[in-house]
Amino acid sequence: MITLHDYVLSANCYKVRLLLAQLNLKFESVDVDFHPGREHKGAAFRRLNPMGHIPVLVDEDFVIRDAHAILIYLARRYDDGATWYPIDDAHRLGSTAQWMNFADATASTLSAARLVVNLGYDLDLDAARTGGHETLRVLDEHLWFGEREGRAWLVDGDRPTLGDLTVFPDVVLAEEGEIDLLDYPAVRRWLDRVKQWPRFVVMPGVFPFGTG
Amino acid sequence: MWYPIADHHDVIPRHTARTSLHGQELVVWRADDGNVNVWENRCLHRGVRLSIGVNDGAELVCRYHAWRYANRSGGCTYIPAHPRDAPARTAACSTFPVAERHGLVWSTLAGGDDASEPPSIEQLGNDAFVLRARPVRAPADVVLGLLEELNWAPFGSDDTADAAVERTRVPGGVAAVASERGVEERIIFFVQPVDSSRCVVRPVRSGEPTDSVAALRHHATILADVVERAERIQSARPAAPTAETPVAIPTAPPRPERLRVRIERKWATAEKIAAFDLVEADGGNLPTFLPGDHIDLHLPNGLIRQYSITNGPGETAHYRIGVKRDPASTGGSAYLHDRAKTGDVLKISAPRNRFALRRNVPSTILIAGGIGITPILAMAQALDRAGLDVAVHSFVSSEGEVAFRDVLDRLGPVVHRYVGLDPDGTAGVLKHVLTSPDPGVQVAACGPPPMLDAIQTIADAAGWDEDAVSFEYFQTGDIDRSSSFTVELARSARTVKVTAGTSVLDAIRAEGLDLDSSCERGACGTCALPVLDGEVDHHDVFLSPAERAAGATILTCVSRAASNRLVLDL
Amino acid sequence: MSVAAWSLNTSDRCTNPAILNRWHPVAPSHAVEAGESHFTVLLGVEIVCRLNPAGEPEVRLRRDPATCVPAIVDYGCVWVCLGEPTEALFTIEEAGEPDRRIVHAGTIGVNVSAPRAVENFLDMAHFPYVHTGILGVEPYTDVNDYQVHVDPVTNDVWATDCEFWQPMAATTSTTGQMTDYLYRVPHPFNVILYKTTPVDAQRMDVIALFCQPVGPDRIIAHPFLCLLDDENTTASIRAFQLRIFAQDKPILENQLPKCLPLDPRAERPIRADRAAITYRRWLSDLGVTYGVIPA
């Protein structure tokens, strides 16, 4: 039995829900009152995760925290073909890790802007937006050339990886931080491609591809 | 002035691209038939950006309330909140002219005669190679200034030092030729003014080089430098306040009563059934049609005949109709079969609806007798496109009478065909099809009167809800327009007869008087007039109960007279 | 909550008495009960809220800390008036019933005017498309005719006899049902919904949206619930409500223009928009010019 300690509006929790759906895994979601209750900072939650953040995944007796760590665990444990985390191919594995780090970098830009606008966090909004646009320019250029070179995903190869899955949430939600995607047409097309994954799931703020 | 606003990579199937020209936000989408649409990026209803909506290949669907807008015309074809009401015929998105040239999608905000055509750039010839466009956070004039001084080494040359570059301003951009030791490269840098502080550079190269990706990278690097310099210049300038574009009050263009169409194609789709593709005679867009719509065809011999539009959603380049030769023809079908030919120009009415196709039930049974298949084809395709279950039961007297076989084949196994049944045989099939009434199923039928009568009897006997079964010639809609009365227009000193089926608004307009309207559903109040005498039969939702009771105002688009005569202040 | 990030524009200041003289929510009570100062922006003005040792709200202008502005606490929020409070805050009687769960679901900033957010709250036709599988599902898209009136005594806008088919209308729902609604707009920027509850056929759940107008085209939304629900945790009630609101957010943030146009010809209403039609006329009649484009 898999349990996800979850918050509906968290992009990091969404990453885990996306992969659980891709791997066709059943799970139980436990709502953590992240906002406004700050339950993740409470004593009860800290017994589960002393770092006091979400998501936390519990698989039978195994407790693991941090979205990317959870994703690597799930991919190794349940993805038989090792497509999401391609351990059998050094180049693709390295590139996957590179884009997962890129997704971490968007936490201080795209995600930060969203937290300021949505939840009133005390962060530097101008810096977050400027950094967000720089990030999106890099992403748009990579994806635009990918289209010319026959590469649909962030990492070479026919299948998407955890690179796409981890970069997607902050980017698709960027406009909630008032970082307009108008200037990034290749990014918008890639968002459409991700939304066409079989078993793709939405979160509030994310529309499905087509009428869903 | 025409500008490129996208390139062919941006308008891929089932995608909605978003851009802006001079501060006017645009949604750009390609339908499955290849047509590119450039529209104001706003749903008519509540102003939601259509670029977050769905391109279903035929129509653009708003995310908010799923209003559907047709390829080409931008006309609204369905409003799910009111499944039984046909959308007002005047409800259409603002569309802009569009042309595809040199791998770019061009548009202009100027309408009408100013629109003409985008420039054809001779230097680019037919093998234009689109380089990567770059959005710039600087105005077009800054970027054009830098492009006019741009030096670069042509792709394929190995030295950048001695490149000679010639540049000239062309409409909307800078044309440049770089040459270096016999290698020459010709590029036009078009600049799309996004708004007063932003633009997009859209370079196009004459000819595709062998190593195309390397060339794209080469030029992306050159352009990145231009972008950086332009943004540095712009950031040193004082920031100009960006004002929200004021919202224009849309005025519904008058809907033409008649239009001229040309027969683009005529062919025999079945024995005794001729098919026609009708296009707008001057090459413009045809008015939006709804599934089940028909047109009045005004024949040169003075006869008027009605034919259903068979097209599926988004098939807006022409109206396709099927005409069965009537052995007793007095010159209608006989004229169309024997004399009408490709290239002929005919007059038709704008499309009209008797058959409001609702989509608020999971499943629909469509029944067609003979040529009655024509509106059924349009309905079946619309339901199929909307992802709803549909079954088509088509009755024909012989295999040779199966019209529009290609569409039926495309619909696939949902089509059941019955050939050569006598009335008893037909009734047997119908009894089977209509065995069990189901609140999740609706029935719509079109065919000869005896068949419709049989369907009515069988459906009643089986216990189908009256509401669940509709027929061609069956009056639908919530407003009873059967009354006729007289309207006196006090200030204009005119008397107008409002006949059954027409609205007061229509009748006033038919007199040549001007009256603004917007929603034409009794919801916005635009067409309201003061009532001086007479009793109003209110059908609107705009007036308050007190205002209704006072009877001093009438919404002329829907409300009627409860007395024989109304006197209005116009 | 911080305001450091909000870019303050002097043109965001409100001079419209119809708005300035009303009470507006500025903080959930839970944010000030901890004894902390809460910075926020109301009508383009930076303010600081806290509770004094007697537990009363104390709200000062950030740029002029000597000035205290009128403040009260009700319905899970601190309410402030930056002008002359001409009338008391509207009442929600159900909030006083002892068996009700009172929950402030947590604030969310939205880049839209308050009237756009209110109008969306009054709208049922979007349920199958924006709250798919929860508040509506295709093909059950009909909005049946309902009644709208302005109460002659209280001057509240009411929409009554509203109904919509919903697959899962509340946290307590297990199956789909035709759900009955009443809507009430007692204040230009606040709206209350009364809806059928599976728990008690005689009573209704109360869900309100209080909009804090940060500027004319930006709000902080305060979803407030007053429910008959003993079963669900506060976390899951909040998660349900925030899920619904977060689904609306990208729609609201993609509306152009952000301020609500009051000219009935600017957009294209249909019969289902009866509540919105009356609301827009009512805003005009009240003389509201903030957050709207006057006709």
For chain B, domains (ranges, CATH) are: 1-115 (2.102.10.10), 121-239 (3.30.530.20), 258-353 (2.40.30.10), 363-471 (3.40.50.80), 485-568 (3.10.20.30)
Question: How close A182 gets to chain C, by Cα (Å)?
Answer: 12
**CA of C255: which chain B residue's CA is closest?**
B48
Structure tokens that stand for B201 in this block: 């550079």
Q: Does B48 touch chain C (CB under 8 A)?
A: yes
C121 and C53, same structural domain? no
Among C42, C20, C6, C45, CA closest to C214: C42
Final residue in a domain of this structure, among C50, C80, C110: C80
Size of interface B-C (CB pairs under 8 A): 127
**CA of B61: which chain A residue's CA is closest?**
A211
CB contact under 8 A, A119 and C108: yes
**CA of B13: which chain A residue's CA is closest?**
A189
To probe the interface with C, which of A33, A35, A122 has the most C CB atoms within 10 Å?
A33
3-state secondary structure of B298: strand
C265 and C156, same structural domain? yes
Estimate the crossing angle of helix A162-172 against helix A67-78, to 10 degrees. Answer: 140
Question: How close C152 gets to chain A, by Cα (Å)?
Answer: 38
Q: Which H or E element spans position B514?
A: none
Q: Does B89 touch chain C (CB under 8 A)?
A: no
C128 and C41, same structural domain? no
Q: Are B547 and C281 in contact (CB under 8 A)?
A: no
What is the pLDDT at residue C4?
A: 42
Compute the half-sphere exposure of residue B34: CA atoms within 13 Å on the CB side of its CA: 3
CB contact under 8 A, B15 and A148: no
CB contact under 8 A, A210 and B9: no
CB nearest B216 (choices: A148, A181, A182): A148
Q: Is residue C235 in some structural domain?
A: no
Residue partners of B126: CB distance under 8 A and separation at least 6: none
CB contact under 8 A, B518 and C273: no
Q: Does C261 touch chain B (CB under 8 A)?
A: yes
**CA of C281: which chain B residue's CA is closest?**
B542
pLDDT in tens, chain C (295 residues): 444 444 456 678 999 999 999 999 999 988 887 778 899 999 999 999 998 888 889 999 998 989 999 999 999 999 999 999 988 999 999 999 999 999 999 999 999 999 999 999 999 999 999 999 999 999 999 999 999 999 999 999 999 999 999 887 566 666 677 889 999 999 999 999 999 887 888 999 999 999 999 999 999 999 999 999 888 888 889 989 999 999 999 999 999 999 999 998 899 999 999 999 999 999 999 999 999 999 8
CATH architecture classification, A90-195: Up-down Bundle (1.20)
Dihedral (C-alpha) B452, B457, B460, B462: value to the nearest 10 degrees? -110
Q: Is residue C220 in some structural domain?
A: yes
Total count of residues recorded for chain A: 212
Sign of torsion over alpha carbons B475, B480, B485, B486 = negative
C135 and C63, same structural domain? no
Q: Which of residues 120-159 of A touch B (CB under 8 A)?
A: 141, 144-145, 147-149
Give the largest Cα separation in chain B, rounded.
91
C131 and C263, same structural domain? yes
CB nearest A120 (choices: C2, C236, C247): C2
CB nearest B9 (choices: A147, A149, A211): A147
Which residues in chain C have Cβ-Cβ distances shorter than 8 Å to A5? none
Q: How far apart are CA B119 and CA B122, in angstroms?
A: 9
Q: Which H or E element spans position C79?
A: strand C77-80
Q: Does B66 touch chain C (CB under 8 A)?
A: yes
Over residues A48-53, mean pLDDT: 91
Q: How far is CA B192 from CA B134, B197, B239, C39, in A?
A: 10, 12, 21, 42
Q: What are phi and psi of B363, to 5 degrees?
A: -140, 145
CB contact under 8 A, A145 and B216: yes
Query: Which letter does DSSP use for residue C274 in this model?
Result: H
Question: How close A100 gets to chain C, by Cα (Å)?
Answer: 26
Per DSSP bridges, beta strands B389-396 and B363-369 are parallel
Residue partners of B247: CB distance under 8 A and separation at least 6: B47, C256, C257, C261, C266, C293
Q: How many domains does chain C have?
A: 2
pLDDT (tens digit per residue) in A88-97: 999 999 999 9
Structure tokens that stand for B320 in this block: 């396709």
Final residue in a domain of this structure, among C21, C52, C80: C80
Q: How far is CA A72 from CA A29, A76, A97, A202, B246, in A?
A: 19, 6, 10, 21, 50
Among B290, B303, B310, CA closest to B332: B303
What is the pLDDT at residue B247?
A: 57
CB nearest A32 (choices: C7, C31, C235): C235
Q: Does A193 touch chain B (CB under 8 A)?
A: no
Which residues in chain C have Cβ-Cβ distances shorter than 8 Å to B24? none
Q: How far apart are CA B132 and CA B134, in angstroms?
A: 6
Over residues A193-212, mean pLDDT: 93
Type of residue found at B47: G
Q: How far apart are CA A75 and CA A88, in angstroms?
A: 13
Among C212, C188, C215, CA closest to C45: C215
Q: How far apart are CA C295 and CA C287, in angstroms?
A: 11
Task: Judge residue B449's burial from the number of C-beta atoms within 10 Å of its C-beta, 0-12 exposed, 13-18 middle, 19 or more buried.
Answer: exposed
Q: Which of residues 464-493 of B touch C (CB under 8 A)?
A: none
Per DSSP bridges, beta strands C204-215 and C218-227 are antiparallel
Dihedral (C-alpha) A69, A71, A73, A79: value to the nearest 10 degrees? -160
* Residue appearing with tokens 């609500």: C260
| Average model confidence (pLDDT) across chain A | 94
Residue B462: alpha-carbon gap to chain centroid: 39
Report the CATH number at residue C75. Answer: 2.20.25.680
Residue ranges in chain B whose pLDDT is less than 70: 111-115, 158-161, 240-256, 329-330, 354-355, 472-481, 518-519, 521, 524
C277 and C152, same structural domain? yes
Type of residue found at B83: P
C217 and C101, same structural domain? yes
CB contact under 8 A, B64 and C142: no
Q: Is residue C32 in some structural domain?
A: yes
CB contact under 8 A, C234 and A33: yes
What is the pLDDT at residue B61?
A: 97
The pairs formed by A141-145 with CB atoms below 8 angstroms and a separation of 24 or more are A141/A186, A141/B132, A141/B220, A143/A186, A143/A187, A143/A189, A143/A190, A144/A186, A144/B9, A144/B132, A145/B132, A145/B213, A145/B216, A145/B217, A145/B220
Over residues A6-35, mean pLDDT: 94
C141 and C117, same structural domain? yes
Cβ count within 10 A of residue A151: 15
Class of domain A2-78 (CATH, top level): alpha beta
Cβ count within 10 A of residue A28: 11
Q: How far is CA B247 from CA A110, B67, C116, C149, in A?
A: 30, 20, 15, 29
| Position A147 pLDDT exceeds 60 | yes
**CA of B51: which chain C residue's CA is closest?**
C254
Q: Does B516 touch chain C (CB under 8 A)?
A: yes
To probe the interface with A, which of B18, B208, B384 has the most A CB atoms within 10 Å?
B18
Q: Does B63 touch chain C (CB under 8 A)?
A: yes
Query: Which letter does DSSP use for residue C212 in this model?
Result: E
* A→C interface, C-beta within 8 Å: 7-9, 31-33, 35-37, 39, 116-125, 175-176, 178, 204-205, 207, 211-212
Which residues in chain B have Cβ-Cβ distances shorter than 8 Å to A176? none
CB nearest A145 (choices: B12, B52, B213): B213
Q: Which of residues 22-61 of A touch B (CB under 8 A)?
A: none
Type of residue found at B113: D
Report the CATH number at residue C133. Answer: 3.90.380.10
H-state helical runs in B133-211: 140-147
What is the pLDDT at residue B252?
A: 57
C282 and C168, same structural domain? yes
Type of residue found at B34: G
Q: Is residue C271 in some structural domain?
A: yes
CB contact under 8 A, C129 and B247: no
Q: How far apart are CA A101 and CA B78, in angstroms?
A: 46
Among A32-36, A158-162, A179-183, C41-45, where is mean pLDDT lowest? A32-36
CB nearest B64 (choices: C126, C261, C274): C126
CB contact under 8 A, A37 and C246: no
Query: Domain range spanning residue C128?
Result: 93-230+253-289
Domain boundaries, chain A: 2-78, 90-195
CB contact under 8 A, C125 and B81: yes
Which residues in chain C have Cβ-Cβ distances shorter than 8 Å to A205? 246-247, 249-250
Which residues in chain A have Cβ-Cβ distances shorter than 8 Å to C220? 120
C29 and C116, same structural domain? no
Q: What are phi and psi of B6, to 5 degrees?
A: -165, 170
C17 and C109, same structural domain? no
What is the pLDDT at residue B473?
A: 47
What is the pLDDT at residue B477?
A: 32
Q: Which H or E element spans position C140?
A: none
* Residue appearing with tokens 């979160």: A203
C47 and C76, same structural domain? yes
